[in-house]
Amino acid sequence: MEEKKDCCAQEERISMPLLGDKFPNMTVQTTRGEMVLPEAFKGKWFVLFSHPADFTPVCTTEFIAFQTRYDKFKALNTELIGMSVDQVFAHIKWEEWIHEKMGVEIQFPIIADTGAVANKLGLIHPGKGTNTVRAVFVVDADGIIRIILYYPQELGRNMDEILRVVEAMQFADKNKVAMPANWPNNEIMGDKVIIPPAKDVKTAKERLEQAKTGAFECKDWWLCYKKI
């Protein structure tokens, strides 16, 4: 009997989404009405970010920081959507407080979760009740999860970094290249981007010869980069 229970528990367990997975279809209640994800953002990238709770200090600074950069996200064809296990009226009152006390109007939707969304995405903080971790899901225009970031409750996120990774992924997709550390301010190559390494002997031998034409620069056949 016990073995049967374990079997059923395994069958009912929902796996967390991984990089490259389609974002799970879900209907959510938000401060901007009911939405179906990822369909609501079809043709756009979106950043879904969870926060532990409304009316908390770090989360308040994060929402102000996201709103301050909202136009920059939209310029990258990217929408924002927040989330926590709080009722919608709590979100609305918190938005009002931020507007009244901090002079910032939150213009993106916030999901009012009952726990179903958080459990499906693996966002419940271990040992802290229904509080969600500070997670970030970057989803592309086809609804594919491209980046997942997790932060502890004690650490506020760097929104400029989230902007950077969205821009970098879009740039990499468009130009079929890879991005160096700290792009566009890499210590070796500045804002140049990395050409995918050679995958066969012939290409490896040709790579350094091609670099002599000035089309790109190489430190070796496996480390070549160029300006775009």
Tokens coding 109: 């939707």
Amino acid identity at 10: Q
User: Given this model, what pLDDT does residue 10 score?
Assistant: 37
User: Given this model, what pLDDT does residue 153 score?
Assistant: 83
Task: Kindly report, as residue ranges, where domains of CATH 3.30.1020.10 are found in the chain.
Answer: 176-228
10 Å CB burial of residue 94 (0-12, 13-18, 19+) is: buried
156-190 per-position pLDDT tens digit: 999 999 999 999 999 999 999 999 999 999 999 99
Fold of 176-228: Antioxidant, Horf6; Chain A, domain 2 (3.30.1020)
pLDDT for residue 147 is more than 50: yes
User: Given this model, what pLDDT does residue 2 score?
Assistant: 47
Dist. CA 102–CA 209, nearest whole Å: 59
DSSP 3-state assignment of 30?
A: strand
- 98 confidence band (pLDDT: 50, 70, 90): very high
Residues forming a β-bridge with 138 = 47, 147
Residues 6+ apart with CB under 8 A from 102: 60, 64
Amino acid identity at 142: D
Residues forming a β-bridge with 224 = 195, 218
Task: Kindly report, as residue ranges, where domains of CATH 3.40.30.10 are found in the chain.
Answer: 16-157
Class of the 16-157 domain?
alpha beta
Please indicate whether residue 59 is annotated as part of the active site. Answer: yes
Q: Which of 7, 8, 59, 218 is catalytic?
A: 59
107-116 per-position pLDDT tens digit: 999 999 988 8
User: Given this model, what pLDDT does residue 128 score?
Assistant: 59
- Which range, 11-20, 29-38, 195-204, 212-221, has the best average confidence (pLDDT)? 29-38
Average pLDDT over residues 17-29: 95
pLDDT mean across residues, the chain: 90
